[in-house]
Amino acid sequence: MTGPSGAVHSLAALVGELLEHADDGVLPILRAGDPVLRRRVMPYRDDLDRGLLNDLVAAMFRTMHAAPGVGLAAPQIGLPIALAVIEDPGTTDPAVADARDRRPCPPMILANPTYEPVGTDVAAFYEGCLSIPGWLAVRRRWRTVRLRAQTPDGAPIDEVMHGWTARIVQHETDHLAGELYLDRAEPRSLAHESVAGRWAGPAHPITAAEALGFDLHEP
């Protein structure tokens, strides 16, 4: 694999370089337009020793929390490997929690995640990305998915995820295939964060669709 300078690096060397240049333990997040975000990553095969892996995962969680966000995939920090972290504290607004089916998700470290839909129900909500700061758009996603992954130690993960947690899993797993959420978002829903607050209520996709002129029921 190659680093930003084009020189060949081992994964351990690349991770070490990233951590060395972290700002108070927080890593820079790549922005849309960086080619790393558009490449399918390599599987993670226990490539890092325990100490370096722990340091990397801790830095990924710190970076995610500082952003702030609820998920971070390795390509977003320049690593073309199939690793992601997710954690969602949920929301304190019961109406929003019910509308989005958003419940707290504990910290998870996912190696080589994949997902498949469970059933045919989809949900359309505004979504954002740490690699596209300042913007949100409506994205349809499967309401329930089956997540298959491994822990970094290789232990299997096989869980059914629902609601907002399923959305997070899909978003971060898509990063590992070189996909950004905007690739399949509703173009007319695009909103800058300075005005997106008007669509922040429980029924915001419906309100936004009426005001901005897009159809939530289109496939």
The per-residue pLDDT for range 88-134, each reduced to its tens digit, is 999 988 988 998 999 999 999 999 999 999 999 999 999 999 999 99
Residue 171 marked in a binding site? yes
Q: For residue 197, what is the domain's CATH number?
A: 3.90.45.10
Kindly name the residue from 116, 172, 179, 193 that is annotated as catalytic. 172
Is residue 219, in this structure, part of any structural domain at all?
no
Residue 9 marked in a binding site? no
Gap between the Cα atoms of 180 and 132, Å rounded: 9
Q: Answer whether residue 219 shows pLDDT above 70.
A: no
| Number of folded domains that form the chain | 1
Give the pLDDT confidence of 148-194 residue by residue, as tens digits: 999 988 899 999 999 999 999 999 999 999 999 999 999 999 999 99
Residue 179 a catalytic site member: no
Residue 175 marked in a binding site? yes
Is residue 16, in this structure, part of any structural domain at all?
yes
Enumerate residues 6+ apart whose C-beta is below 8 A from 131: 29, 30, 31, 32, 34, 37, 76, 180
Average pLDDT over the chain, rounded to whole? 92
For residue 86, the enclosing domain spans 11-212
Across 56-65, 102-111, 194-203, least confident range: 194-203
